[in-house]
Structure 1
Amino acid sequence: AKMTEAFTAFLSDEMGVPAAQISFDNERFRADGSNMTPTMLEVAEMARQKGRDDLLVHHERATLPGRSYPNGAHVSEVVIDPETGVVTVDRYTVVDDFGNLINPMLAEGQVHGGVVQGIGQAIQEHVVYDEDGQLLTASFMDYAIPRAADVPFVSFNSEPVPSTANLMGMKGCGEAGTVGALAAVSNAVQDALWERGVRQADMPFTPHKVWALLNDSAIAAE
């Protein structure tokens, strides 16, 4: 709003009409008696050409209403084949606080989908380029995404603490599954590899990468 007011005052001289006659329809400035209908970006360029850099810098301060803060805990149990480096998520358990669940089935489904997405990112999904910058994983024939056979049944439990920031006591759950899965699976893999001497394991835990970590640690131990 402040930017619009500043630009309107500037356009008063440019368009040759009183500032009060200039309106902005969220796309263009317009005024009766003038054929000019500049956009916000066009006015900014006009101001820059006239040396009015003061019109190009604006800031606003706002206080947001109370937000809700969901909480949760994820436990991932993984099995790693030391011969191939394949990581399998064997069991997965979630306990979440999303406040009052208006539709428990949809909330649980949201968590299930998010966990699967997180597992996929943690152990399967990997973008690969060759030395010339050519993308080698440009289709789902080459870029691995999780399927039903790649994930276990996800045990979901709700321990709601109603939010005080809204009348319905709800909290968000959109990204909870994905965020929790990344940390849970990564920590589980690191824990499994720790006794083999691996002290730094980073996603994605593809078979080749995990196999290399195991072999590198074995060589270092020798």
Structure 2
Amino acid sequence: EVAEMARAKGRDDLLSHHERASLPGRSYPNGAHVAEVVIDPETGVVTLDRYTVVDDFGNLINPMLAEGQVHGGVAQGIGQAVQERVVYDEDGQLLTATFMDYAMPRAADLPMISFTSEPVPSTANAMGMKGCGEAGTVGALAAVSNAVQDALWERGVRQADMPFTPHRVWEMLQGAAIAAE
């Protein structure tokens, strides 16, 4: 409607629905995340000992901002993997609606994050860039989940689902100990 009104006033130059932009190809970032965890068998607390990220975002305009983006995403992923749990009652009422009930990581809960950029310029755009927006979160979920599952496997736990809260991890360890008897 807006375009039609503009055209009626002789402003055909404002908007054209016939134009289309297309890219010659797509660019995807690549990377690897490694999490090292320690699980206290008495309490079920998962502690992240070390966290390493190597990413390829192509050419970076601002490397410090990209590193900050990764750090923030890793913190989000760690929180989702080991703390954040949404709980509803039988009527669908959200029970974890406040920060008293919905745990999120604090700085003290996070390890030092080692980040390295290994850029390979993209051939899909003139500046050789790739996206980096969600790389931290996506990689962290997989790295932390796999590290926790690997540690639990050593104790006989064969099925483990996120979030790896202390109580849930403790229950898994107790169940594996009973099954082993």
- Classify the TM-score, shorter chain: 0.7 to 0.9
- Of 85, 109, 132, 1:150 maps to 109
Asked which structure has the greater RCO (Cα within 8 Å, sep 6+), the reply is 2
Q: TM-score, normalised by structure 1?
A: 0.72
Higher Cα Rg: structure 1 or 2? 1
- 2:105 aligned counterpart, secondary structure: coil
How many residue pairs are counted as aligned between the two chains? Answer: 168
Q: Secondary structure at the match of 1:169?
A: coil
SS at match of 1:142: coil
Unaligned runs of 5+ residues in structure 2 are 9-19
Matched, 1:202 2:161: yes
Q: Which position in structure 1 is the counterpart of 2:45?
A: 86
1:107 to 59, 66, 72: 66
Distance of 2:28 and 2:93 partners within structure 1: 42
Q: Which residue is 2:77 aligned to?
A: 118
For the residue of structure 1 that corresponds to 2:91, the secondary structure is: coil
- What is the CA distance between 1:146 and its match in structure 2? 1.0
Alpha-carbon distance in 2 for matches of 1:141, 1:27: 53
Whole-angstrom distance in 2 between the partners of 1:27 and 1:191: 61
Letter in 1 for 2:91: D
| 3-state SS of 2:67 partner | helix
| Residue number in structure 1 paired with 2:175 | 216
Aligned partner of 2:2 in structure 1 is 25
Equivalent position of 1:49 in the other structure: none
Percent identical pairs in the alignment equals 84
Shift of 1:202: 1.2
Deviations 1:97-137 (A, max 9, x none): 00011100000000000000000000000011223333211
The equivalent residue for 1:51 is none
Say if 1:25 and 1:200 are closer, same or farther in 2 by CA, change over 3 A.
same
RMSD: 1.9
2:32 to 53, 73, 88: 73
| 1:136 aligns with one of 95, 101, 104 | 95
1:63 Cα deviation (Å)? 8.9
Partner Cα separation in structure 1 for residue 3 and residue 141 of structure 2: 41
Runs of 4+ in 1 over 4 A off after TM superposition: none
